Chain A
Amino acid sequence: EAQVTQNPRYLITVTGKKLTVTCSQNMNHEYMSWYRQDPGLGLRQIYYSMNVEVTDKGDVPEGYKVSRKEKRNFPLILESPSPNQTSLYFCASSFLSAGVGSPLHFGNGTRLTVT
């Protein structure tokens, strides 16, 4: 089944404790991205990747890191989480070759709480 797998689904942590949210897709998509969803703000892009070893900042990258060592995986790393990073996070992927009309496929989301 074609899907974007994101783990964990829920995560509670404390300020400053490094964490990683994993994302993997099995559709051979070139494009992958991370969004955070906050009430009243919709979704905002954190980082994106156009292909292996090609990553760049989105609109709200502060406090986050990513890597793209393999085409299928795009982990989101919070080196020193803070309470303002409490949010719902989504990983998404799509084909680049099909252009901007290619719909994004989303993972099931990770609810992160930083205390």
Chain B
Amino acid sequence: AQTVTQSQPEMSVQEAETVTLSCTYDTSESDYYLFWYKQPPSRQMILVIRQEAYKQQNATENRFSVNFQKAAKSFSLKISDSQLGDAAMYFCAYRDDRGSNYQLIWGAGTKLIIKP
């Protein structure tokens, strides 16, 4: 069964600096998608970035980028120029079309603290 592991329950970073959140996953599939979602204190789940396994180029969205290492089954999120509004829980998630339920498999989350 597919699993997603986030080994850092909590991370902190100084405002304006760069932080990297780790995520590893396990799957026997070759085609799948990986996602990072942000959950601020408002509880809303917000898509940060997504990566298709077949694309070698790492996805980027403004200050957010990923380091996707398919062979190592690693999918880390880098946040550059951290801002106070980046403080949130960050969840890594995996999805493939194996079976029929299209569900997202989630990691346990990493709480990101931004120090002013």
- A: residues with CB less than 8 A from B are 31, 33, 35, 40-45, 48, 50, 56, 58-59, 88, 90, 92, 94, 96, 99-101, 103-104, 106, 108-109, 111
Contacts and interface: CB of A to CB of B under 8 A. Distances in A.
A100 B110 CA distance: 24
B33 A58 contact: no
A108 B44 contact: yes
A92 to B, nearest CB: 8
B4 A42 contact: yes
Interface in B1-38: 4, 9, 32-33, 35
Q: Tell me if B's interface is mostly helix, strand, loop or mixed.
A: loop
B91 A42 contact: yes
Contacts of B62: none
B108 A101 contact: no
Contacts of A103: 35, 47, 50
Interface string B44-80: 1101001010000000000000000000000000000
Contacts of B50: 101, 103
A35 B101 CA distance: 13
Contact of B102 (A31, A40, A41, A44): A31
Most buried by A among B9, B42, B45: B45
B45 A106 contact: yes
A42 B44 contact: no
B47 A48 contact: no
Nearest to B47: A103
Contact of B101 (A40, A42, A45, A106): A45
Contacts of A48: 101-103
Nearest to B42: A108
